[in-house]
Amino acid sequence: MRFPAHPARRLGSTERRPRTGYQDFTRWLRQAGRVLEVPPDAVSAWFAPERPGPLIHRHLVHTGVGRCRVDRWPRPRVVLVEIAGNYALRGDPAALAPAELRDVQGFVEAEPHWLPVLQAAAGVVATWPRIIAVLPVGVPIETPTPDAVRRIGPAHAAALAAHDPDGFWISNTWGGPDRLAAAAVGHGAFLDGRLVSIAVPFFVGTRHADIGVVTEAAHRGRGWSTACAAAVAADIRARGLLPTWTTSPDNLPSLGVAARLGFVRHREDLLYAVRVPIPG
C-alpha cells in the first residue's frame, strides 16, 4: 500500500511537468527573476538521506502540493521547497541575494548558516525549537478506536471545511479540505455529525510519515486526539512507513499524546519563523 500520488501539477494554462526528455525538462522550467521552478524529483539528492522530521520535499514529490525552486539550472547552488508556508532551504547562502527570499513567509527548515540571509531578507527572524519523535517498530499501538473515530473520505469534504478555523492548517499540506478528503488518508472523530478532531499524515516521505492532529477546544482532554492519531499511526505502519511526531518543547498536550502512543524522542531541531508569529 502507498499513499496516493498526485498527478502532474498544472503550472499554467498549458504547462505540465514533463515526463521524459532533458529538452522537455528545460522547456518546463519557469523563471521569475533569477529563481527557477523545477520538478521536485530533479533535486531529490539534495534531501537525502531522508530522516524523521519535516518531509517537505518528499511530500511535494508524493502529492504535487507546493513548489520547488532553484537559483539556476543546471548545477543549482540553492534549492527552496515550499508547501503551504512550510519551507526547506538547502545550499550556499552566498549564492542568493536576500531580496530573492522576499516572498518567504512561514516556517523554514534550514541549517544555521542561512539565518543571516533570512534576517537580511525579513528583519527579525524567530527560532522555534522542535522535538522530533518516532514510534519504534516494536511498540504496539494499543489505543482503542471508538466508534466515533473513522476514516475521512471524499464524502467528508464539507465536514473538513466546517471544522474550527483555528485548525485550518491541518489540511494545508494536502491542498485544502477537498483534496485531503479525496486522499482518504486522515481519521477524525465525528460527534453529532460534526468533525471535532482530525489526524492526518501531515508530511509523507519514502520511509517516514509525520503525524499532525488538531481537536476543537471544546472537545480537548477527552482522548480524541490520541484516538485519531493512533488510527493514523496504524495506517502509516500498514503502508510500510515509520510514524513520526513533531512538536515544540512547551506543547505539553501534544507531548502527552505522543507519549501515550509510545513515541520516543529521536532528536531536537528548530525552525525559523519568517514574517509569521510562532504559534502559542
For residue 109, give its domain range.
22-129
Strand-pairing partners, residue 270, are: 129
pLDDT at 267: 97
Residue 97 domain-assigned?
yes
Helices (H), 38-99: 56-63
Query: pLDDT value at position 280?
Result: 78
Position 3 in a domain:
no
* DSSP codes joined into one string, 14-30: S-B--SS-HHHHHHH-E
Do 157 and 93 share a structural domain? no
Q: What is the pLDDT of residue 144?
A: 84
Match 524567530 to its residue by C-alpha cell: 126
Closest CA to 109 of 136, 131, 84, 82: 82
Q: What is the pLDDT of residue 16?
A: 41
Positive or negative: CA dihedral 21, 22, 27, 29? positive
For residue 256, the model assigns a pLDDT of 98
Length of the chain in residues, anyone? 280
Same domain membership, residue 191 and residue 79: no
Give the sign of the dihedral formed by CA 218, CA 223, CA 225, CA 227: negative
167/264 same-domain check: yes
Per the structure, the count of domains in the chain is: 2
Grid cell at residue 254? 501534544
C-alpha cell at 74: 543546471
Q: One digit per residue, pLDDT tens: the chain, 280 residues?
A: 455 544 333 223 233 444 444 445 555 456 544 569 999 999 999 999 999 999 999 999 999 999 999 999 999 999 999 999 999 999 999 999 999 999 999 999 999 999 999 999 999 999 999 999 999 999 999 888 899 999 999 999 999 999 999 999 999 999 999 999 999 999 999 999 899 999 999 999 999 999 999 999 999 999 999 999 999 999 999 999 999 999 999 999 999 999 999 999 999 999 999 999 999 7
d(CA 146, CA 275) in angstroms, rounded, equals 40
